[in-house]
Amino acid sequence: MEIAKVVKKVIATVKNEAFEGYPLLLVQPLTMKFENKGAEVLCIDFIGADLGEVVMIMKEGSSVNDMMGLAEAPADAAIIGIVDHIVLDDRKIFEKSRAEAA
């Protein structure tokens, strides 16, 4: 699992039937210092995340397939949670309510 920030919504008028009913979002993986880490990742959104939110992503195709209830779907990554806050070394390094106020 990794943390990431939702940066773009992806609109596809035609897509694989396995993705029907699931939004697609582009996310930017982050380090624990909230710096960009690597390339953006296209994710299936199981949670209902919105632009700018910090989310938890899973980049394991077989686990994403399990969540979709399919044996084989062309999926590698999924948003599996929205981060409310992060505590690292007994110090709160992220709080969603403060990020929304900023």
2-101 homologous superfamily:
EutN/Ccml (2.40.50.220)
Beta bridge partners of 42: 26
Secondary structure element (H or E) that encloses residue 85, with its range: strand 85-88
CA distance linking residue 86 with residue 93, whole number of Å: 6
The DSSP annotation for 2-53 comes to: EEEEEEEEE--SS--GGGTT--EEEEEEB-TTS-B-SS-EEEEESS---TT-
Dmax over Cα atoms in the chain, in whole Å? 47
> What pTM value is reported for the model?
0.84
Sequence spans of domains, the chain: 2-101
**pLDDT tens for the chain, residues 1 to 102:** 899 999 999 998 887 777 778 899 999 999 998 999 999 999 989 899 999 999 999 887 566 666 666 666 677 888 999 999 999 899 999 998 877 655
